[in-house]
Amino acid sequence: MKSRKAIYNAKGKRITVKSTSRMHDKAWEQFSIFIRKRGATKDGINQCITCSAQDHYKKLNAGHFRHNVLDFDEINVNVQCVICNKWNSGRRDIYARVLTLQYGHEAVEALHRRADLALKGEKKSYFDLEEIYLKYKAINECS
């Protein structure tokens, strides 16, 4: 039986699957706030990428174009209203058109390639997630 070397975080605590999952949740919380605030007015109003509905960023979602991969990709994740994101499954057809208008066909194709590669096994480590968490936490504190 192979023995695995334990990995510890900066505070000396052993990193487990559970702690990595918690760090993913913390990173997602900060990244989601960043996405929902990105482009918002000084009053916090932002608009859904797929239907243009406007609301306060705290009432909006950070919706994925490609699901279950590229969770922290700033092109893949954009502001969506709850209706589009949850009830209408992200309205992927409209999402694709808007992404193509905003970023260009080549960028959307590159996004699909990155997503396909990620599906083949890309997993973020605890340290990757901690770096994402700290980056977006700092950005959110400044905005």
pLDDT in tens, 14-28: 767 678 889 999 999
3-state SS, residue 131: helix
The residue-averaged pLDDT of 1-17 equals 65
CA dihedral 27, 28, 30, 32 (to 10 degrees): 160
| DSSP per position, 41-99 | -TT-EEE-TTT--EEEGGGSEEEESSTTS-TT-TTTEEEE-HIIIIITTT-HHHHHHHH
Model pLDDT for residues 111-143, shown as the tens digit of each residue: 999 999 888 877 788 899 999 999 999 999 998
Model pLDDT for residues 35-56, shown as the tens digit of each residue: 999 999 999 999 999 999 999 9
Q: Indicate the pTM of the whole model.
A: 0.86
